[in-house]
């Protein structure tokens, strides 16, 4: 076969070849992710410990939404549906809040199952609608690789959020296809459920409301709004929110951080715009085409949803603590929209040449390779660190305090900040006693004036912290930079920790 014939053969089968490469890449990616799931790494998904702590509290029968200005000074940033599901499953197998690694394992497995369900449903949906296997496979592969590349669906509520977003889009398609009003109510239920997974899920039911307002069907808008409010109220009753006031105080105050362009660039722009800009450009082109040629039904809804999702994600991604995860819902809508648009024979005929298809296939192949290698390199760097030894050491320190020092559930422990995840497991082993579980949230809330932490200062002055644990050789210090002064005395050293005790003399 000549070189020219070989190139023609490759061009004609470029999309199929990209699918085959994507399947191999996805398999390798899944193996790497499963290794990370089983590892003792304290964070494979971004702020993973905050979710683990919420699950621990539910297992222990404690409230996860408490007054942030009162001890223990903890903030639960996210709504509780994901934590409730994982804690329910953990209870079934008989694990308790002190089984830290097992809770990590449970959360990671559940999240990965949710993510796999997401990409499978999206791909199967495209196949059902278009009957094109390659389009269906590419849809699932693109979503799987990009979601894995962003890390945030590996052990976080985001995994359930993307699943609900996919089910939301599929439900709305069949609501149009079957002209079934009941499915619109199911879509609203799914959207409200998404809010109770993560606050950003609120954009789902909002997009439905905007659609019916644009359609000027105010009766339908009011009916769906009333049903959404009823569903919202039902969730407030059945989910573990403690009180409505404390619930909103946490989920609003917990994310009320200042904005930062530098943070947006580091944690969003360079992981999104600079690498997946073609996806956004195609989304804009397809949306413009839809508004001009087919501004009705499901395709119009996809345009409305993609615009709203993108604007909402961008407006919130500047917040300190935010990340590229806010674009996950937009990613799902955009990929489904593009898969449908380029699968219809009558659409974009000028862009369906062999040359353009080959370009798309090449781009996706490089994207698959890029995502897989990036995830591998990130997790590989953690695999060479002996996190299991850190886990064992932290457990020994916790056992020492609980058994030999007779640490009671009402005693407070403060764990000083350190580098390289030191103390991260200790914080979870002592979740009942930890005075400030997530110091970065408290620091930002104090800096922004969101909450007042005078009670912490009072507890320090009154020597109300029984133990302060500091990295070996470093003087105890707290996140609020309030001087411990003479409230502490050195007690002992265990491994890489110095333990200080309240100076009651």
Please report the beta strands in 340-428, taking only residues with DSSP state E, as ranges in sequence order: 412-415
| Pair 339, 231 in one domain | yes
Q: What is the mean pLDDT of residues 327-332?
A: 96
Our count of domains for the chain comes to 2
435: domain range? Answer: 388-502
Cis amide leading into 327 (omega within 30): no
% of the chain at pLDDT higher than 70:
95
Residue 273: predicted pLDDT: 67
Q: What is the mean pLDDT of residues 172-195?
A: 97
Please report, for residues 13, 36, 268, 323, 485, the alpha-carbon distance to residue 44 in angstroms, rounded to integers and kept in the order given: 37, 7, 18, 15, 37
| Pair 228, 317 in one domain | yes
Going edge to edge, which strands form the sheet with 465-471?
412-415, 465-471, 497-502, 488-494
Question: In this structure, is residue 23 part of a structural domain?
Answer: yes
Categorize the per-residue pLDDT at 232 as very low, low, confident or very high, splitting at 50, 70 and 90. Answer: very high
Find, among 355, 367, 362, the residue nearest to 331 by Cα: 367
The answer for residues whose C-beta is within 8 angstroms of residue 128's C-beta and 6 or more apart is none
Categorize the per-residue pLDDT at 44 as very low, low, confident or very high, splitting at 50, 70 and 90. Answer: very high
| Pair 290, 360 in one domain | yes
As a whole number of angstroms, the distance between CA 211 and CA 140 comes to 27
CA angle 395, 397, 403 (to 5 degrees): 95
Residue 349: predicted pLDDT: 60
Question: In this structure, is residue 82 part of a structural domain?
Answer: yes
Question: In this structure, is residue 3 part of a structural domain?
Answer: no
Question: In this structure, is residue 106 part of a structural domain?
Answer: yes
Q: Are 12 and 130 in contact (CB under 8 A)?
A: no
Question: In this structure, is residue 221 part of a structural domain?
Answer: yes
Categorize the per-residue pLDDT at 457 as very low, low, confident or very high, splitting at 50, 70 and 90. Answer: very high
Q: Are 98 and 399 in contact (CB under 8 A)?
A: no
Give the containing element (helix H, strand E) for 397: helix 387-399
- Read off the DSSP letter of residue 403: I
Give the containing element (helix H, strand E) for 230: helix 218-238
As a whole number of angstroms, the distance between CA 110 and CA 329 comes to 19
Q: What is 114-127 written as a DSSP string?
A: HHHHHHHHHHHHHH
Summarize pLDDT for 20-38 with one digit per residue, the tens.
999 999 999 999 999 999 9
Higher pLDDT, 186 or 16: 186
Among 381, 396, 425, give the residue marking a domain's end.
Answer: 381
Rg (CA), the chain: 25
Question: In this structure, is residue 341 part of a structural domain?
Answer: yes
Residue 390: predicted pLDDT: 95
Among 381, 410, 440, give the residue marking a domain's end.
Answer: 381
Residue 347: predicted pLDDT: 65
% of the chain at pLDDT higher than 90:
76
As a whole number of angstroms, the distance between CA 495 and CA 405 comes to 17
Give the containing element (helix H, strand E) for 410: none
Kindly tell me if the per-residue pLDDT of 11 is higher than 90: no
Among 338, 364, 381, give the residue marking a domain's end.
Answer: 381
Kindly tell me if the per-residue pLDDT of 421 is higher than 80: yes
Categorize the per-residue pLDDT at 9 as very low, low, confident or very high, splitting at 50, 70 and 90. Answer: low
Please report, for residues 16, 361, 362, 413, the alpha-carbon distance to residue 356 in angstroms, rounded to integers and kept in the order given: 14, 9, 10, 61
Question: In this structure, is residue 137 part of a structural domain?
Answer: yes
As a whole number of angstroms, the distance between CA 121 and CA 52 comes to 27
| Pair 318, 440 in one domain | no
Q: In which residue are the tokens 């105010």 written?
A: 218
Residue 385: predicted pLDDT: 77
Question: In this structure, is residue 96 part of a structural domain?
Answer: yes
| Pair 98, 227 in one domain | yes
Q: In which residue are the tokens 């495209």 written?
A: 126
| Pair 146, 259 in one domain | yes
| Pair 332, 440 in one domain | no
Higher pLDDT, 323 or 160: 160
- Read off the DSSP letter of residue 437: S
The two tokens of residue 136 are 């269906």
| Pair 73, 179 in one domain | yes
| Pair 98, 72 in one domain | yes
Find, among 148, 193, 145, the residue nearest to 166 by Cα: 193
Residue 351: predicted pLDDT: 57
Partners of residue 498 on adjacent β-strands: 470, 493
Residue 420: predicted pLDDT: 87
| Pair 127, 253 in one domain | yes
**Sign of the dihedral through C-alpha 234, 315, 479, 55:** positive
Please report, for residues 413, 484, 495, 499, the alpha-carbon distance to residue 467 in angstroms, rounded to integers and kept in the order given: 5, 12, 16, 7
Give the containing element (helix H, strand E) for 465: strand 465-471
Quickly count: other Cβ atoms within 10 Å of residue 34's Cβ.
13
Summarize pLDDT for 375-397 with one digit per residue, the tens.
999 998 776 678 999 999 999 99
As a whole number of angstroms, the distance between CA 25 and CA 100 comes to 32
Looking at every residue in the chain, the average pLDDT score rounds to: 92
Kindly tell me if the per-residue pLDDT of 187 is higher than 60: yes
Q: Are 476 and 413 in contact (CB under 8 A)?
A: no
Kindly tell me if the per-residue pLDDT of 350 is higher than 60: no
Partners of residue 492 on adjacent β-strands: 499
| Pair 370, 398 in one domain | no
Q: Exposed, middle or buried: residue 121 (CB in 10 Å: 0-12, 13-18, 19+)?
A: middle
pTM: 0.95
CA angle 165, 166, 169 (to 5 degrees): 85
Quickly count: other Cβ atoms within 10 Å of residue 181's Cβ.
11
| Pair 364, 435 in one domain | no
Kindly tell me if the per-residue pLDDT of 255 is higher than 80: no
Q: What is 44-100 written as a DSSP string?
A: SSSSHHHHHHHHHHHHTT--SS--TTSSS-----S-SHHHHHHHHHHHHTT--TT-H
Residue 262: predicted pLDDT: 82
Q: In which residue are the tokens 């979601």 written?
A: 147
Categorize the per-residue pLDDT at 295 as very low, low, confident or very high, splitting at 50, 70 and 90. Answer: confident
Residue 47: predicted pLDDT: 86
As a whole number of angstroms, the distance between CA 153 and CA 48 comes to 10
């Amino acid at each position: 076969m000549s070189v020219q014939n070989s190139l023609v053969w490759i061009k004609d089968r470029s999309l199929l070849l990209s699918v085959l490469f994507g399947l191999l890449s996805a398999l390798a990616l899944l193996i790497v992710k499963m290794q990370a799931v089983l590892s003792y790494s304290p964070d494979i998904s971004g702020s993973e410990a905050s979710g683990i702590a919420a699950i621990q509290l539910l297992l222990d029968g404690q409230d996860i939404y408490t007054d942030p200005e009162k001890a223990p000074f903890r903030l639960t940033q996210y709504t509780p549906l994901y934590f409730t599901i994982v804690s329910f499953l953990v209870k079934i197998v008989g694990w308790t809040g002190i089984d830290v690694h097992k809770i990590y394992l449970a959360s990671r497995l559940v999240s990965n199952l949710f993510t796999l369900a997401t990409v499978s449903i999206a791909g199967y949906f495209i196949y059902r609608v278009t009957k094109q296997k390659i389009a269906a496979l590419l849809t699932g592969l693109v979503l799987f690789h990009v979601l894995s590349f962003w890390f945030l669906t590996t052990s976080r509520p985001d995994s359930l959020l993307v699943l609900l977003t996919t089910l939301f889009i599929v439900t709305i398609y069949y609501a149009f296809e079957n002209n079934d009003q009941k499915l619109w109510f199911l879509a609203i239920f799914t959207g409200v459920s998404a809010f109770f997974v993560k606050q950003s899920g609120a954009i789902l039911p909002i997009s439905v409301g905007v659609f019916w307002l644009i359609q000027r069907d105010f009766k339908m808008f009011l009916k769906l709004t009333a049903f959404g409010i009823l569903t919202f109220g039902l969730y407030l009753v059945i989910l573990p929110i403690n009180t409505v006031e404390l619930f909103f105080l946490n989920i609003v105050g917990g994310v009320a951080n200042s904005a930062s362009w530098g943070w947006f660039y580091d944690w969003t722009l360079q992981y999104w715009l600079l690498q997946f800009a073609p996806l956004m450009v195609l989304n804009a082109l397809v949306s413009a085409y839809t508004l001009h040629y087919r501004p009705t039904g499901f395709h119009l809804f996809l345009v409305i949803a993609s615009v709203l999702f993108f604007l909402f994600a961008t407006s919130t991604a500047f917040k300190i603590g935010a990340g590229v995860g806010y674009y996950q819902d937009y990613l799902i809508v955009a990929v489904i929209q593009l898969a449908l648009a380029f699968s219809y024979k009558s659409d974009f005929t000028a862009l369906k040449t062999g040359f353009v298809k080959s370009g798309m296939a090449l781009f996706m192949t490089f994207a698959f390779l890029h995502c897989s290698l990036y995830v591998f390199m990130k997790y590989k760097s953690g695999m060479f660190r002996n996190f299991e030894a850190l886990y064992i050491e932290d457990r020994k320190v916790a056992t020492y305090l609980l058994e030999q020092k007779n640490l009671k559930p009402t005693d407070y422990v403060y764990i000083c900040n350190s580098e390289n995840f030191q103390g991260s497991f200790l914080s979870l082993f002592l979740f009942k006693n930890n005075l400030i579980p997530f110091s970065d949230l408290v620091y930002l809330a104090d800096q922004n004036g969101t909450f007042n932490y005078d009670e912490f200062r009072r507890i320090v002055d009154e020597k109300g912290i029984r133990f302060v644990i500091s990295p070996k050789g470093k003087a105890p210090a707290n996140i609020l930079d309030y001087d411990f002064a003479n409230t502490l005395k050195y007690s002992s050293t265990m491994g890489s920790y110095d333990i200080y005790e309240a100076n009651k003399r």
